[in-house]
Amino acid sequence: MVLATPSAPGRLRHATGLELKIGGAESNVAIALSRLGISAGWVSALSSDEPGHLVLDRIRGEGVDTSRVRLLQEAPTGLYLRERVGKSTRVYYYREGSAASKMSIDGVDLEYFAQARYVHLTGITPALSGSCRTFTRALMQKLGGSPARISFDVNYRSKLWSAKEALRFTEEVLPMVDLLFVSAEEAQALWNHDGADLLQKLSEAGPREIVLKRGREGSLALVGGEPIEHPGFRVEEVDPIGAGDAFAAGYLAGMLWGLPPEERLRVANAMGAYSVMTLGDYEGLPDREELEEFLEGRESLGR
């Protein structure tokens, strides 16, 4: 989506100017991976006009492959406005009928997905429209026999669908998911559960690996039935948006680098922490060297 947001916190109604940025959980993950030196592609639909090119150029400019993005003439690019008032962030979506909401499995290059090590999907796409719901489910089904692993982030957005609908969809696709990400808040909103023992219940439905994000507390994972925990890094939070996406990218990077589960959680926590201590959904994210420096507690001289 195009994201329009005032540069300073405060109510949108008083804003005299807006910064034009881009937003989107899946593109954040792709960009985060690309920064870490991992080959990543982002597949979606945009309008073929200036707003569409704004999104396309920025994602492409981060080294993410956008060759499978469709540019449509008949539908606008999704837009959202965001304001930060006190500790809370509020969003206003303009994405009904957007190009992305029209995604369907027809004409999708399945080979492209099948040759990926991981196909990362989130609960935002199926929340966009009936056709996006069918698309997300069908893509997982069609990749069933391929080597590509399915990673799924629950990413519940209450402004797009109800908790009941999100729960129904998530539980329906769980048997096809290899790696599941869920936050403590989502565990509460969807399953009315406080987390830890929910992982066991969810893993019985299919995913080999489930990761619970716990904000500043860090994270907990259940890997092949084994619980693993890692505390969060102590950092000053300046912008909480995008932490979950950075975390998912860190965990996926850990998988691709062949790190053991505890190390994957550590890298994921470090990425989440890096995200909250820097401004922007993805703008402040580290490259691999900066991540290593952070993990080792070293600070670059910067000159």
**Is 197 labeled as catalytic in the residue annotation?**
no
Please, are residues 207 and 175 in contact by the beta-carbon 8 Å criterion?
no
Token pair listed for 201: 């219940």
Q: In the bound complex, what is the minimum distance in angstroms from residue 201's beta carbon to ligand KDG?
A: 25
Q: In the bound complex, what is the minimum distance in angstroms from residue 104's beta carbon to ligand ADP?
A: 27
- Provide CB contacts within 8 A for 74, sequence distance 6+: none
Buried b (16+ CB within 10 A) or exposed e, 123-138: bbbbbbbeebbebbbe
Q: Which alpha helices (H) appear in 147-227, and where do they start and end?
A: 163-173, 184-191, 196-204
Closest to ligand ADP by CB, 69 vs 210, is 210
Q: In the bound complex, what is the minimum distance in angstroms from residue 79's beta carbon to ligand ADP?
A: 22
Q: Return the range that interacts with ligand ADP (CB under 6 A); candidates 13-21, 50-58, 133-141, 237-245.
A: 237-245
Site residues, ligand KDG (CB under 6 A):
23-25, 28, 124, 157, 241-242, 245, 281
Q: Which of 161, 247, 282, 294 binds ligand ADP (CB under 6 A)?
A: 247
Interacting positions 177-236 with ligand ADP (CB under 6 A): 183, 185, 213-216, 218-219, 232-233, 235
Q: In the bound complex, what is the minimum distance in angstroms from residue 27's beta carbon to ligand KDG?
A: 8
Local structure of 171: helix, strand or coil: helix
- 294 is a site residue for ligand ADP (CB under 6 A): no
Q: Which listed option, ligand ADP, ligand KDG, none, makes contact with residue 281 (CB within 5 to 8 Å by class)? A: ligand KDG
Please, are residues 102 and 129 in contact by the beta-carbon 8 Å criterion?
yes
Residues constituting the chain: 303
- Which residue is associated with the tokens 């090590």? 117
Closest to ligand KDG by CB, 47 vs 122, is 122
Q: In the bound complex, what is the minimum distance in angstroms from residue 224's beta carbon to ligand KDG?
A: 28
Please, are residues 103 and 135 in contact by the beta-carbon 8 Å criterion?
yes
From the DSSP assignment, how many helices (H) and strands (E) are in the chain?
A: 11, 12
Catalytic residue from among 57, 65, 245, 287: 245
Token pair listed for 17: 């100017």
Token pair listed for 303: 């000159």
Q: Which residues are catalytic?
A: 245
Q: Which residues bind ligand ADP (CB under 6 A)?
A: 183, 185, 213-216, 218-219, 232-233, 235, 237, 243-244, 247, 269, 272-273, 276
